[in-house]
Chain A
Amino acid sequence: MEPSELKRSKDSPNSDESTRRSSFPDEVLERVLSLLKSHRDRSSVSLVCKDWYNAERWSRTHVFIGNCYSVSPEIVARRFPKIRSVTLKGKPRFSDFNLVPENWGADIHAWLVVFAAKYPFLEELRLKRMAISDESLEFLAVSFPNFKALSLLSCDGFSTNGLAAIATHCKNLTELDIQENGIDDKGGSWLSCFPESFTSLEVLNFANLSSDINFDALERLVGRCKSMRVLKLNRSVSLEQLQRLLVNAPQLAELGTGSFSEELTFRQYVELESALSNCQNMHTLYGLWDAKGIYLPALYPVCTHLTFLNLSYAALRSDELAKLLAHCPRLKRLWVLDTVEDKGLEAVGLNCPLLEELRVFPADPFDEEIIHGVTEAGFVAVSFGCPRLQYVLYFCRQMTNAAVATIVQNCPDFTHFRLCIMNPGQPDYITNEPMDEAFGAVVKTCTKLQRLSVSGRLTDLTFEYIGRYAKNLETLSVAFAGSSDWGMQCVMGGCSKLRKLEIRDCPFGNAALLSGLEKYESMRSLWMSACNVTMNGCRLLAREMPRLNVEVMKEDGSDDSQADKVYVYRSIAGPRRDAPPSVLTL
């Protein structure tokens, strides 16, 4: 939903000239448009002319709403009468890191009430960073008889009782995907609520939950859902239980194991390996909690056709990773913990030439005593072996400008470059200079760059580079960086495609904020916290741009004139009415 995108076709007929255009029945137009899946293409199409706008809105079955407050459910329902699938995102991304107050909003219930009235045939709901209560889940479960797919990512406010309601009532459920949520885990009995007659489940992900589930119920469920292709277990499922499940589900394409660490007898190990080797369709492997190196060889038969391996819950050493990766030649995506160290990353470079995505997470992010983890050397090693890298998320404790320059020279195709040097404001550890040249190299070389997260000691020069070169940049995350307003002004002036900007702890003030006046309506949102923005600056912004919602979150005990946390977003629904008292809408 991007009402201000200006992509007009030059030859667009409009309805006043209907006598002149060639007759093109609406049904044909709708049929053609129904083949369009991308919501951005559909937005563009809807701007061509009134006829196309109408044809598009009647043929749209999936709506993507990147900010739940940018529009109201009534407006959505009025425009799109035939929606079967909804994707909604709520809170600002920094809520993942505790920067957003708990009762901030983004509650799904009002949406569900409208959907129940207008979209009784709703099939799919995918939510990210929304608040959803058990009552809402129960309401969902009983209001939509055709409901098929529920995906909750980084949501909160619900418990396993809500999941029980879904399992009990959704007779046609194909997907239940619960990821990284703040869920109140009251026990595993919800899984037993799937009726014995229920067979349609294709995707089941409950890795997020910690309680024991009734394994017999799970075994029967997996056994009778013959179309199941994605199964992600939680940590309470043992290796022996995993083997029993796999024997009945060799068709699985994605598997999240449970705990990978208990003591196995030799026979159990052999049976596990045999069960895994029967899974010829498996291309994705998750979980592997507490994986013990000695059992990893059981995975070798699956590794040959794996394209995505997520080891971010398994604290492997470099040698353990190296041995495993020797069997994974087709890997395209790899997530690991920094326990693998640089040596482990060297093995990545040596064994995975097709790698497109690498994420290295810190095993102990809050512990400063750690002297291991990964350094610039590991990243450089990967870049030499994996020229096709497009997406990287890298947490480290030291980095140099030279290393980053080498990395992007080896891998010029980066679309997502997220580098987190974990000590805020840390310079190049060899030259002691700011990391400006590193990110300068990134934006100069990687012309396709869409997403960038910067870190380390950075002056305004970094932002000059970004503004000048990062012409395709859509998402920028900045923390503890910059020297003055000029930095942010460069970004606002230069990055024409910018959609999301999130800034924390930077010396950007009102001049910086207001330099983006013209820009914010073409963006999804702006977040600024712990910067130098004042309430007056925010009020000015709100006054000048009535179609923006300017919200300030106040912290207790702070100076009245400071705007501690500012969240600015475009909206056609007007200021929201459900803001808690700590959030001021200007």
Chain B
Amino acid sequence: MSSENGKRLLETDAGGLNFEATELTLGLPGEPRVTSDGGAKLGSKRGFSETVDLKLGDNNREVKLGHSLQEAAKSPVSKTQVVGWPPVRGFAKRGKKSCKYVKVAVDGAPYLRKVDLEIYNSYQQLLTSLEDMFSCFTIRNYLNEKKIEQVNGIEYMPTYEDKDGDWMLVGDVPWQMFVESCKRLRLMKSSEAVGLGLTTGPKYSSTN
């Protein structure tokens, strides 16, 4: 995933930069380096003459051609991102905390709940969690009963409202796309859904 970040710098994604503009220098800015030929020469291939500032967040990448050698010397390489640096393997986004809370309504339940979609990694996890969450309502009444798989034995169709305000069946799009576009969830009683012609199941079902 993030191991691609470094690669992007050299691809044409980076706003049509020519190669020279992205070259980076070695060693200390402002100091001429002595090469093996004996003469001092500012590394023509890799001068600090331009630095590139890339913001690798979301989809907006600003590319600014920067500084002269002198300016770069003030904040040495801090604004430069380099291929393969820092040397972390592709798990750079380990444990990044973010949250996306959405309301969950269940037909017939007296109140709504909220879940954080970011803590799940698949439809299966989400749906299992919702089952647990809403079976609680009935469990409260039967104190020592085991958890029941479907609330009251009635089937529910999981639906969600997307960014455009449309009500969609959960499971058709890849998980991440769903997380990004989902605004709220509704577990709709299947009996209500029958008339809507929602007979085929979702593409991304939760089991293999």
Interface segment, one of B22-30, B60-68, B177-185: B22-30
Please tell me which one of the listed residues B27, B33, B90, B96 contacts residue A363 in the complex, with CB atoms under 8 A apart: B96
Contact, CB under 8 Å: B88 / A395: yes
Report yes or no: A425 in contact with B28, Cβ–Cβ below 8 A: yes
Interchain CA distance A481-B115 in the complex, whole Å: 49
> Judging by beta carbons under 8 Å apart, are A532 and B36 in contact?
yes
| Chain A contact residues: helix, strand, loop or mixed | loop
In whole Å, how far is B9's beta carbon from the nearest beta carbon of chain A? Answer: 10
The answer, yes or no, to whether B112 is at the interface (CB within 8 Å) is no
Of B78-86, B159-167, B192-200, the stretch lying at the interface with chain A is: B78-86
Instruction: Tell me if A188 is interfacial: C-beta within 8 Å of chain B.
Output: yes
- B208's partner among A214, A263, A313, A532 (CB-CB below 8 A) is A214
Q: Does B46 contact A (CB under 8 A)?
A: yes
Query: A314, A364, A557 — which one has the most chain B CB atoms within 10 A of its CB?
Result: A364
How far does the alpha carbon of A395 sit from the alpha carbon of B50 in the complex, in Å? 27
Is the C-beta of A367 less than 8 angstroms from some C-beta in chain B? yes
**A131-189 residues at the B interface, CB under 8 angstroms:** 154, 180, 182, 187-189
Which single residue of chain A is at the shortest CB-CB distance from B204?
Answer: A212
Q: Judging by beta carbons under 8 Å apart, are A366 and B56 in contact? A: yes
Residues A262 and B119 in contact in the complex (CB < 8 Å), given A313-B94, A315-B95, A363-B96: yes
Surface stretch bound by B, among A46-54, A297-305, A468-476, A508-516: A508-516
Interface residue A431 (Cβ < 8 Å from any Cβ of B): no
Which of A214, A339, A506 meets B95, CB within 8 Å? Answer: A339
Which residue on A lies nearest to B115, using beta carbons?
A: A263
Segment among A90-98, A323-331, A408-416 that sits at the interface with chain B: A90-98
A315 touches which of B82, B87, B96 (Cβ 8 Å): B96
Interface flags, A406-428, vs B, CB<8A=1, else 0: 00000000000000101111100
Minimal beta-carbon separation of A156 from chain B (angstroms) = 11
A312, A424, A483, A534: the one within 8 Å of B85 (CB): A424
Kindly state whether residue A522 has any CB partner on chain B within 8 Å. no
Instruction: State whether A192 touches B208 (Cβ < 8 A).
Output: yes
Q: Indicate whether A562 sits within 8 Å of B36 (C-beta atoms), given known contacts A366-B56, A480-B77.
A: no
The size of the chain A interface, using a CB distance under 8 A, is: 79
| A506-B94 in contact (CB<8A) | no
Interface presence of A559 (CB below 8 A): yes
- Residue contact A509 to B36, C-beta cutoff 8 Å: yes
Asked if B207 CB lies within 8 Å of chain A CBs, one says yes
Most chain A CB atoms below 10 A, which of B34, B80, B94, B122: B94
B9-33 Cβ-contact flags toward A at 8 Å (1 or 0): 0000000000100001011110101
B70 proximal to A (CB < 8 A): no
Q: Which of B27, B82, B122 contacts A212 (CB 8 A)?
A: B122
Q: Which residue of B is nearest A531, CB measured?
A: B26
Q: Which of B37, B46, B132, B208 contacts A188 (CB 8 A)?
A: B208
Question: Among residues 68 to 124 in chain B, which have CB atoms less than 8 Å away from a CB atom of chain A?
Answer: 76-97, 115, 119-122, 124
Among A233-241, A438-446, A575-583, the stretch that binds chain B is: A233-241
Q: Is A219 part of the contact surface with B, judged by Cβ < 8 Å?
A: no
Q: Does A507 contact B27, Cβ atoms closer than 8 Å?
A: yes
Contact A361/B208 with A98-B83, A511-B36 known, Cβ cut-off 8 Å: no
Take A290-B95, A313-B95 as given contacts and tell me if A97 and B85 are in contact as well, using a CB distance cutoff of 8 Å.
Answer: yes
Report 21 cross-chain contacts, Cβ distance below 8 Å, ordered by A residue: A154-B89, A180-B91, A188-B208, A210-B121, A212-B122, A212-B207, A213-B208, A214-B207, A235-B121, A259-B121, A259-B125, A313-B94, A313-B95, A425-B77, A426-B76, A457-B76, A506-B26, A507-B34, A532-B33, A534-B36, A556-B19
Residues of chain A touching chain B, judged by Cβ–Cβ distance below 8 Å, are 94, 96-99, 154, 180, 182, 187-189, 192, 210-214, 235-236, 238, 240, 259, 261-263, 265, 268, 289-292, 312-315, 337, 339, 361-368, 395, 420, 422-426, 457, 477, 479-485, 504-507, 509-512, 530-532, 534, 537, 556-559, 562
Contacts beyond the supplied A422-B86, A532-B43: 13 A-B pairs with Cβ under 8 Å: A97-B88, A189-B208, A262-B129, A290-B95, A364-B92, A395-B86, A423-B78, A426-B76, A457-B28, A482-B27, A483-B33, A509-B36, A537-B36
Q: Identify the B interface with A (CB < 8 A).
A: 2-3, 5-7, 19, 24, 26-29, 31, 33-37, 43, 45-46, 56-57, 76-97, 115, 119-122, 124-125, 128-129, 132-133, 136, 206-208
6 nearest A-B residue pairs (beta carbon): A97-B84, A315-B95, A509-B36, A510-B36, A511-B36, A424-B77
